[in-house]
Amino acid sequence: MWLYLAAVLAGLYLLWRWHRERQTVPGLPEKYVLITGCDSGFGNLLARQLEARGLRVLAACLTEAGAARLRAAASPRLQTVLLDVTSSQSVAAAAAWVRERVGDRGLWGLVNNAGIAIPTAPNEWLTKDDFVKVLDVNLVGLIEVTLSLLPLIRRARGRVVNVASIMGRVSFFGGGYCISKFGVEAFSDSLRLEMRDFGVKVSVIEPGYFKTLITSAENMEKNFLSIWEKLPAETKASYGQNYLNEFLVSLRKMQKQCNPDLRLVTDCMEHALTSRHPRTRYSAGWDAKLLYIPLSYLPSALTDLVYSWSYPKPAQKA
């Protein structure tokens, strides 16, 4: 009896949530959305996706070549601007450019998508500058872009969509990437609470493994080999050549497992921008939903045990 009642209530809740989340924001063709990191990957696909939906897209690219390719594939509703999120001068110039275009209506949406993963390696192999390089793009740059545009977003009672990662919940490799994504989660949580009374909604996207430029096995292998070559002889001896080889094999396996369907992620971004009732967090990919999110709630001892099964073993162990 109670089991049937619980099943009925769960079904009614899911039906109610489905109906609620299908309600879209009116006047989408008049709304402006700025997306960072549009040269390739998620940002590029989202820019074209929103432009086809009828929104006015302001696509921020790092390179002129990337901007030109995107303009050629879209209508005049899509405009591009060059933006280096690690440069305060570039961020200020882009913010002024956006202000000129949106005017008094404000900026409806900001999608902080720009990100890098390299350099990444075991923490001991890296330098402070290696960490800073990633944090400057993925976290500090994201924060500066958001702060520069927040008055325009408040004016529109709009949306902030921050791209984190499932690695913002669990971390099992070194470097600045996981650290930056944990930081994105924290910044988004505090911003969401602060912006509530202004009518601004903040969402976080947590993709699993997807096939993008930053997850390219070739790029990651070059990164690892370059860092390995610079290590002191003592460090190389402690880890051993076999450790490096096993890590490279793991990278190749990971690349094969990466999901090529980027639309799973951009659909989450689009929903966060266009739904009357966006979610606080979106997980994209079955690996995120069925593996990494459940792992993030387990005791650390258990997650360590799971990850240690596939982790390379150093030559010199305690």
- Which amino acid is it at 186? A
- Which amino acid is it at 189? D
How far apart are the C-alpha atoms of 49 and 64, rounded to whole Å? 21
- Which amino acid is it at 39? D
Just list the catalytic residues: 177
How far apart are the C-alpha atoms of 231 and 124, rounded to whole Å? 10
How far apart are the C-alpha atoms of 45 and 223, rounded to whole Å? 26
Q: Which residues contact 294 (CB under 8 A, 6 or more apart)?
A: none
* Residue 267 contacts residue 11 (beta carbons within 8 Å): no
